[in-house]
């Protein structure tokens, strides 16, 4: 079945069709030039050895050697994959839980106070990731950070906590910073989904004696599943590509505890100038992201259609 757009295009006279395509063609051309050609060039480079530090060697074809090195020899890349998956699972769970909680709290009634709260909750979403990284870098500072000051004032800790240099606390700290920024996005999407639900269903449930908890479990949650699915998909793909917060907070440290695949890819290119190897890594990251995306969709579709 054709989409509405294609029905509108093909339902018009031939002269009008060419007019529509003429207006759309420049946008497609720009996308092909910017994305298609550069992506094809990256794939081509991934099969070659090219070092910017030794340009006289030129570009040498090595076949699948770069990919074999990534999968079986590069232990830093393998550790980065584990770190990225751990970060993605943790941060998406946090954002979904608190985003749904805030959406439910703001959906009970609409007045000036809730409108003001929505604006306050959306402020982190308006800040660029680099600035968010700087804010949390200063807040989590072991000596000058406000978080340690509050915890020590309340007597929760006796000495400053090294949030970003402790191997056990560095990754959770980045998760909290990312959740602080993107939970408003999840809240906004879920709030829109909840507000779009028909109120007649809830009135019928109240007449039948359903408690608010049962209404949430049996009415709200099933009806907003499509919205949850879209939010989870977007946030999972975005979290898997995390770079800016890691770069601003820990640079992948201490050691490689918080180094993600994007961070490792940057270091290979920026520090070691291995263009071919970095291109192969970029293709691998894209392949993993697409695999996670497709798996996500298949699992959610199977679960919700059951």
DSSP string, 81-133: HHHHHHHHHHHHHHHHHHHHHHHHHHHS--SHHHHHHHHHHHHHHHS-HHHHH
From 104-108, 133-137, 281-285, the region with the lowest mean pLDDT: 104-108
Is 4's pLDDT higher than 50?
no
Rounded Cα gap, residues 236 and 90, in angstroms: 10
Host domain of residue 149: 74-305
Q: What's 102's domain CATH number? A: 1.10.3720.10
Q: How far is CA 208 from CA 108, 198, 204, in A?
A: 20, 17, 6
Rounded Cα gap, residues 65 and 58, in angstroms: 17
Residue 294 lies in a domain: yes
Is 90's pLDDT higher than 60?
yes
Residue 181 lies in a domain: yes
Residue 2 lies in a domain: no
Total number of domains in the chain: 1
Average pLDDT taken over every residue of the chain: 87
Is 198's pLDDT higher than 80?
yes
From 15-19, 65-69, 100-104, 290-294, the region with the lowest mean pLDDT: 15-19
Residue 213 lies in a domain: yes
The percent of residues in the chain predicted with pLDDT above 90, rounded, is 53
Residue 7 lies in a domain: no
Residue 11 lies in a domain: no
Residue 232 lies in a domain: yes
pTM: 0.86
Query: What b/e readout covers 167-198, taking b as 16+ CB neighbours within 10 angstroms?
Result: eebbbbbbbbbbbbbbbbbbbbbbbebbeeee
- Alpha helices (H) in the chain, listed in sequence order: 4-10, 14-31, 38-46, 65-72, 75-107, 112-126, 129-139, 146-153, 170-195, 199-207, 212-215, 221-223, 225-240, 244-249, 261-272, 275-305
Q: How far apart are the first and last CA of the chain?
A: 24
Q: What is the predicted pLDDT for the residue at 9? A: 44
Residues 170/83, Cβ–Cβ less than 8 Å = no
Query: What b/e readout covers 272-294, taking b as 16+ CB neighbours within 10 angstroms?
Result: eebbbbbbbbbbbbeeebeebee
Beta bridge partners of 61: 48
The percent of residues in the chain predicted with pLDDT above 70, rounded, is 91
Q: What is the predicted pLDDT for the residue at 305? A: 54
Residues 186/95, Cβ–Cβ less than 8 Å = yes
Rounded Cα gap, residues 21 and 27, in angstroms: 10
Q: How many CB atoms lie within 10 A of CB 295?
A: 10
Q: Region of 6 please: left (phi>0), alpha (psi -120 to 50) or beta.
A: alpha
Is 3's pLDDT higher than 70?
no
Q: 20: which 2 tokens?
A: 């529509």
Q: How many CB atoms lie within 10 A of CB 48?
A: 19
Q: Residue 269: which residues within 8 A CB-CB, separation 6 or more?
A: 275, 278
From 158-167, 176-185, 197-206, the region with the lowest mean pLDDT: 197-206
Rounded Cα gap, residues 232 and 281, in angstroms: 25
Is 60's pLDDT higher than 70?
yes
Residue 33 lies in a domain: no
- As a three-state string, the secondary structure of 25-51 is HHHHHHHHHHHHHHHHHHHHHHCEECE
């Amino acid at each position: 079945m054709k989409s509405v757009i294609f029905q509108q295009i093909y339902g018009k006279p031939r002269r009008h069709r060419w007019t529509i395509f003429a207006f759309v063609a420049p946008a497609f051309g720009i996308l092909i030039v910017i994305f298609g050609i550069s992506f094809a060039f990256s794939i081509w480079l991934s099969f070659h050895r090219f070092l910017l530090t030794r340009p006289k060697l030129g570009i040498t074809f090595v076949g699948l050697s770069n990919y074999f090195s990534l999968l079986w020899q590069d232990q830093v890349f393998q550790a980065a994959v584990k770190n990225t998956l751990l970060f993605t699972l943790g941060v998406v769970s946090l954002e979904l839980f608190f985003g749904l909680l805030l959406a439910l709290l703001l959906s009970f009634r609409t007045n000036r106070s809730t409108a003001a709260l929505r604006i306050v909750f959306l402020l982190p979403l308006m800040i660029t990731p680099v600035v968010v990284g700087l804010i949390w870098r200063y807040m989590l500072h072991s000596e000058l950070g406000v978080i340690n000051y509050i915890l020590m004032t309340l007597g929760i800790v006796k000495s400053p906590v090294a949030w970003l240099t402790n191997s056990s606390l560095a990754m959770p700290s980045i998760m909290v910073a990312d959740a602080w920024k993107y939970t408003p996005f999840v809240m906004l999407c879920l709030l829109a989904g909840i507000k779009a639900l028909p109120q007649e269903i809830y009135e019928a449930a109240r007449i039948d004696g359903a408690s608010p908890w049962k209404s949430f479990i049996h009415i709200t949650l099933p009806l907003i599943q499509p919205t949850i699915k879209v939010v989870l998909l977007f946030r999972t793909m975005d979290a898997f590509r995390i770079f800016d917060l890691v770069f601003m907070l820990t640079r992948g440290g201490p050691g490689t505890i918080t180094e993600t695949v994007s961070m490792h890819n940057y270091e290979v290119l920026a520090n070691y100038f291995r263009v071919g190897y970095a291109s192969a890594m970029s293709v691998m990251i894209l392949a993993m992201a697409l695999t996670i995306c497709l798996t996500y969709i298949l699992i959610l579709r199977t679960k919700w259609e059951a």
